Amino acid sequence: MKPELASWARAMLRIGLIVAIASAAVLAISGPGNRFGWWNYREAFSLMGVAAWSGAVGAVLCVPPAIMAAHAGARRALALAVVGVVAGALTLSLPWLFRQRAHGVPPIHDISTDTEHPPRFVAIVPLRKDAPNTLEYAGVELARAQKQGYPDIAPLTLAVDPAAAFEQCLRAARAQGWDIVAAVPEELRIEATDTTPFFGFKDDVVVRITPAGGGSLVDVRSVSRVGRSDLGKNAERIRAFLRALGKPS
């Protein structure tokens, strides 16, 4: 005779599985919804929160049926219960990881290798006219927060002349997948926009090259258009760019 669960366990499994999978689906579309303009980023974060808690509920509901199925030898029911527990747990854990990361970095969104004289945006200014975050540098307080949170962010010196450094920076920027907005060799300035994959957040970057002895000094500034905190993304972007730039051709 085929092993079966009690009716209440089957009902609990059915409800838990539906809740867990639906929560995972809500989490999966929360970020892309902001990217495609279906809702704004605040609503996306709210959806993530709802998905996390409902995913936890779905996972919990699937645990008793999983235990009963294991004891009864009901393999199909056990497999479904495990799917529900895993889907619900993952749906809870991803927003939790976002939250932990937010608590682990300073609540800032403007990162520069030069905090005393940060590189200035020119071509990108009109593109940010409706952005909640401005391009005005917040000064000493921001610089202090950055140095405490990201002490490694610093300019890079290249052992090539500024013209060669400009071309090297432009190649590195393109290799990062940035959308180049302006490349002005006469001013040794590159401006670009980088779009995050999940939420579709647009962060703007400016690269400034200045002569330094027999070589060139490269400064980079990356600024988010929305959000008080960038979850460390701008610092991560600058590090990746400078690493790519520092690799031998």
pLDDT tens for residues 43-89? 999 999 999 999 999 999 999 999 999 999 899 999 999 999 999 99
Q: Which of 75, 104, 133 is the last residue of a domain?
A: 104
Tell me the per-residue pLDDT of 98-149, one tens digit each, with 9 for 90 and over.
888 888 899 999 999 999 999 999 999 999 999 999 999 999 999 999 999 9
Whether residue 162 lies inside any domain: the answer is yes
Tell me the per-residue pLDDT of 138-155, one tens digit each, with 9 for 90 and over.
999 999 999 999 999 999
Show the tokens assigned to 228.
Answer: 């008080």
Contacts of 222 (CB under 8 A, 6+ apart): 110, 111, 112, 194, 203, 204, 205, 234, 235, 237, 238
Whether residue 185 lies inside any domain: the answer is yes
Closest CA to 74 of 82, 64, 66: 66
Q: Which of 69, 104, 139 is the last residue of a domain?
A: 104
Return the pLDDT at 2: 58
**Mean confidence (pLDDT) of the chain:** 94
Return the pLDDT at 249: 46
Say whether both 201 and 96 belong to one domain. no
Buried b (16+ CB within 10 A) or exposed e, 117-144: ebbebebbeeebeeeebebebeeeebbe
Say whether both 92 and 137 belong to one domain. no
Residue 248 — pLDDT band, cuts 50, 70, 90? low
What does the alpha-carbon distance between residue 212 and residue 117 come to, in Å, rounded to a whole number? 16
pTM, 2 dp: 0.86
Return the pLDDT at 244: 94
Contacts of 156 (CB under 8 A, 6+ apart): 113, 217, 218, 242, 245, 246
Residue 247 — pLDDT band, cuts 50, 70, 90? low
- Tokens 């959308």, residue located: 179
- Tokens 């300019």, residue located: 155
Whether residue 188 lies inside any domain: the answer is yes
Return the pLDDT at 127: 96
Task: Please report, for residues 136, 164, 182, 211, the alpha-carbon distance to residue 216 in angstroms, rounded to integers and kept in the order given.
Answer: 26, 9, 20, 5
Say whether both 129 and 218 belong to one domain. yes
Say whether both 142 and 197 belong to one domain. yes
Whether residue 2 lies inside any domain: the answer is no
- Per-residue pLDDT for 179 more than 90? yes
Say whether both 16 and 131 belong to one domain. no
Residue range 35-45: average pLDDT? 92
Say whether both 86 and 122 belong to one domain. no
CATH number, residue 229: 3.30.530.50
Q: Which of 66, 82, 104 is the last residue of a domain?
A: 104
Whether residue 1 lies inside any domain: the answer is no
Q: Which residues pair with 207 in a beta bridge?
A: 190, 220
Say whether both 124 and 242 belong to one domain. yes
- Per-residue pLDDT for 3 more than 80? no
Q: How many domains does the chain have?
A: 2
Closest CA to 18 of 95, 80, 75, 76: 80
Whether residue 47 lies inside any domain: the answer is yes
Cα distance from N-terminal residue to C-terminal residue, the chain: 69
Task: Please report, for residues 104, 106, 125, 242, the alpha-carbon distance to residue 229 in angstroms, rounded to integers and kept in the order given.
Answer: 11, 7, 21, 22
Residue numbers of the domain that contains 121: 110-246
Q: Is 212 helix (H, G, I), strand (E, B) or coil?
A: strand
Say whether both 29 and 13 belong to one domain. yes
